[in-house]
Chain A
Amino acid sequence: MGLDALLDAFLSVLNGGSLTFLMAGVLLGLTFGVIPGLGGTTALALLIPVTYTLDPLSAMYLAGGVMGATSFGGSISAILLNTPGTAPNAATCFDGYPLARQGKAGMAIGASATASALGGLIGLFTLLLFIPVAREVVLSFGSSEFFLLTVLGLAAIAVSIKGKLLRGLIAACIGLLLAFTGANQFTGETRFTGGINYLWEGIPLVPALTGLFAISQMIELALKGGSVADDATVKEAKNMRIKGVSEGVFAVFKHWPVLLRGSLIGTVIGAIPGLGGTVASFLSYSSTAQTAKDRDTFGKGNIKGVIAPEAANNAKDGGSLIPTVAFGIPGSAETAVFLGILVLHGIEPGPQILLQNEREVYGLIVALTVSAIAASVLGLIFARLLVLITRIDVNIVVPVVVTLSLTGVYVLEGRMADVAVATIIGIFGYLMIRFDYPRLTLVIAFVLGEIAERSYHQVRLISDGNVIEYMLGRPISVILIIATIVTFFLPAMRKLPWRRMVGRAI
């Protein structure tokens, strides 16, 4: 099913005008991706009024171009400046930035470009396989599975913080506190808002993450001075940067299980509405870091730590179309905007979307595929040039990044309060860096906290209070419970004398 339509879409994209829209989308996506604070959702939201005058298919090419390119763009700033360009790239910082500091930025960008392109392709291929059963997939994920997935995510993070358990938990609690700000979905009452109606809808994600990662990192860099790459490594790295990029490309093929796992995690998480790229890339990173034999080198510049999140990040776009083709509902913020564009053109997205709007859906899939590859090729071509950013004096980098990212935060909703949130959280984030508290656990708790609370209350109401009984009656829930338990006991099992056996089994 649909193969003819897919071929048609591929052929039609090669005809003149469509390619122009697609490439315009790719360039826009890369640019918005690179700039911290500006992401795919911002780019698409700004584009909506523009697409009004286009026909639906051209609008899809433009949107697909943007969607496919932003996440790779965002990994560039994550690697070079330790500042994720978009929220899901945060996980790429952990190993990407240490690589850049060691003068291996070219290798990291090469790996990220390749993992992004291949991850995107695997995600879309999985989507095509899933289309016939998309309905069942969506229906089998209910409130119970949502809740357990958030628990799994929180558990994975809890065990991934090495040696800083208490600090990690403190940061996570602050994350939960931030997540619970705003209206309670069950009583309608507002919490922790201090009478400010800006906070009714909670602390917005993009300004918070921009503050926590971009602003705080810029404060850190500004206070330290110099440039991102160490002076010593800059001199050493002369040879490295020439062959670095292709080394990164080959690393992805060498570590293909990491690529595959990342892509699958990305697709599955993408398919679940409300979880999104940030969760996908963190889960992919933490599961790779935990099960790797050389797990001690993660966080110090392990190339697998770049491959895993970037593969997941791009694969999630394919996955997020699964609920769209099954029920016409969005699987991510980007697909929500995509459906908005259809509504604007007088098309009501519904469960029949694949039958009634085949051209637009396949147009988007083709655009995503071409975009993921085009963005990576562009990235590889310019990688050597981009690496020079790490040699620029931070006194030039910092003002530029701060201005661009705060502007981006303002542009998204046009609210000055968002800029204030980014600034306050930015200062807080710097204090966390300064006193060695992990920002990762805060982010994960912040992203997952609200979904966890909401879905727990739903399960409680649906099951008439017999939460555990209800969960045990659902096969996917049982699998998730087992996965959570394994995650918790994995570090303990490794310490036991028979750890080699366990290591092999996992």
Chain B
Amino acid sequence: MKKFLTTGATAVALVTAGAAHAEFPMDDNITFVIPYSPGGGFDTIVRQFAPAMERAMGTTVVPENISGAGGARGGQSVHRADPDGYTIGVYNIPGLTVNEVLGKDQGFKLDEVTWLANLAVATYALAVAADSGINSVEDLCALDQPAKMSDTGATSTAAVTTRITFGILGCDIVDVTGYAGSNDAMIAVISGEVNATIKPITSLAKYLDGDGGTGDMKLILTLTTEEAVPGVPTATDIGHPELAKFTLNRVIGGPPGMPAEVVSALEEGLRAASEDPEVTAWAEGAGVELEFVNAADTTALMNNLSSFYQQYKDLAAVAE
């Protein structure tokens, strides 16, 4: 009797599982986990992509905000979900990568995540006040006192980028952390509290000269290999192309062990959404750099990123 029951249960499980695969994504809503509160960058991109994914995949996509622990809590809840494709999430990358390299227990391992796609990328630049008289990285490193930089939290991606960058350049700095947001950190440069800051180019644009910017700040370096802003030297120009590895990504993943056909269906849905006219029009207006990367390449990118930060582990750690 017991055996019969077990067999029966297994059969039912097999049938439902089989049906789920055949039907994906038709028999349930897809929950799209956002590891931060509504209104931020992670929330916005997901809420823009969700309707476009619905159009592409013919199912309902429900964004769900699960905030806390620097994005780790959202990642944990995706990690615990069934790997049936009905729960996916956007990850705080490279924030989670850096924390993992520094040995912080985040409740799950990034290399167990089933990576699906990369949707957008932001590149960094080094900015100073327009009227500061600092015109190059050499100027900044040759000040009487170590140059002062501004950042939000000490473990924020921009702060880690700042410490590693200047560590590689062999230039002494004081990173003044604790600003409430990246805008506050940039205003500290404008008001002269600090000398410079490293922030995504798209965030800095509003304080630069031209194209609706105020002209309060100027760029002295972009962390790119190719010229990103006319007339501004790149990481390659100053002989450190490895600095171009610092980017801010919007990476999508799911629970460990997702079946290949579900991965490719989601990958395809996300790709179609990234080409949706409404999404591209929004990205244009909001200054978001869309850059779709497929599942295989995203997995490679994540491993690559992990070893990159592993290499600079000592510089990434906060000096006492």
Contact = CB atoms under 8 A, between A and B. Distances in A.
Nearest to A143: B193
Given A49-B38, A462-B148, A464-B145, A142 B188 contact: yes
Interface residues of A, number: 50
B72 interface: yes
Interface stretch (B22-30, B173-181, B225-233, B265-273): B173-181
Interface residues of B, number: 57
Contact of B285 (A185, A329, A347): A347
B206 interface: yes
Interface in B81-138: 105-107
A185 B184 contact: no
B47 A187 contact: no
B6 interface: no
A413 B268 CA distance: 31
B154 interface: yes
B59 interface: no
Interface string B59-79: 000010111111011000000
A343 interface: yes
Contacts of B152: 185
A351 interface: yes
A88 to B, nearest CB: 19
Contacts of A200: 68-70, 72
Interface stretch (A64-72, A73-81, A453-461): A453-461
Contacts of A344: 39, 43-44, 47-48
Interface in B246-289: 281-282, 284-287
Contacts of B214: 351-352
B187 A186 contact: no
A345 to B, nearest CB: 8
A336 B39 contact: yes
A49 B152 CA distance: 27
Nearest to A337: B39
Given A52-B47, A346-B281, A414-B65, A45 B154 contact: no
Contact of B154 (A49, A186, A274, A339): A186
A188 B107 contact: no
Interface string A179-199: 000011111110000000110
B39 A462 contact: no
A340 B187 CA distance: 19
Interface of A is mostly: helix
A337 to B, nearest CB: 5
Nearest to A200: B69
A327 B178 contact: no
A454 B178 contact: yes
Interface string A424-455: 00000000000000000000000000000011
B1 to A, nearest CB: 40
B153 interface: yes
Contact of A329 (B178, B183, B205): B183
Contacts of B68: 197-198, 200-201, 413, 415
A48 B39 contact: yes
A351 B215 CA distance: 11
A274 B183 CA distance: 13
A142 B44 contact: no
A295 to B, nearest CB: 35
Nearest to A140: B191
Given A45-B38, A197-B107, A346-B285, A186 B191 contact: no
B49 interface: no
B53 interface: no
B207 interface: yes
Contact of B187 (A139, A197, A413, A454): A139
Contacts of A48: 38-39, 43
Given A328-B206, A461-B174, A462-B176, A350 B181 contact: no
B190 interface: yes
B7 interface: no
Q: Which of A189, A336, A346, A464 has the most CB of B within 10 A?
A: A346
A169 B290 CA distance: 53
A383 interface: no
Given A187-B318, A201-B69, A348 B287 contact: yes
A201 B92 CA distance: 15
B206 A185 contact: no
B154 A185 contact: yes
A183 B286 contact: no
Given A48-B39, A143-B193, A343-B44, A348 B69 contact: no
B76 to A, nearest CB: 9
A340 B40 contact: yes
B148 A343 contact: no
B206 A351 contact: yes
Interface in B191-230: 191, 193-194, 205-207, 212-214, 216
A184 B176 contact: no
B310 interface: no
A40 interface: no
Interface in A162-184: 183-184
A188 B318 contact: yes
Contacts of B65: 413-414
Contacts of B181: 273, 329-330
A207 to B, nearest CB: 12
Given A45-B38, A188-B318, A462-B193, A351 B207 contact: yes
B155 interface: yes
Nearest to B183: A329
Q: Which of A48, A142, A351, A455 has the most CB of B within 10 A?
A: A351
A348 B178 contact: no
B37 interface: yes
Interface string B138-153: 0000000100100011
Interface string B290-315: 00000000000000000000000000
A138 B38 contact: no
A200 B154 CA distance: 13
Contact of B70 (A143, A201, A340): A201
A190 B177 CA distance: 15
Q: Which of B38, B43, B105, B106 has the most CB of A within 10 A?
A: B38
B191 A346 contact: no
B209 to A, nearest CB: 13
Interface of B: 37-41, 43-44, 47-48, 63, 65-70, 72-73, 105-107, 145, 148, 152-155, 174, 176-181, 183-184, 187-188, 190-191, 193-194, 205-207, 212-214, 216, 281-282, 284-287, 318, 320
Given A143-B188, A348-B285, 9 more contacts: A49-B38, A142-B193, A183-B155, A197-B68, A201-B70, A329-B181, A336-B39, A341-B39, A462-B194
6 contacts: A49-B63, A187-B318, A198-B69, A350-B212, A351-B206, A413-B65
Q: Which 6 pairs from chain A and chain B are nearest by CB?
A: A340-B39, A350-B206, A346-B285, A188-B155, A188-B154, A454-B178
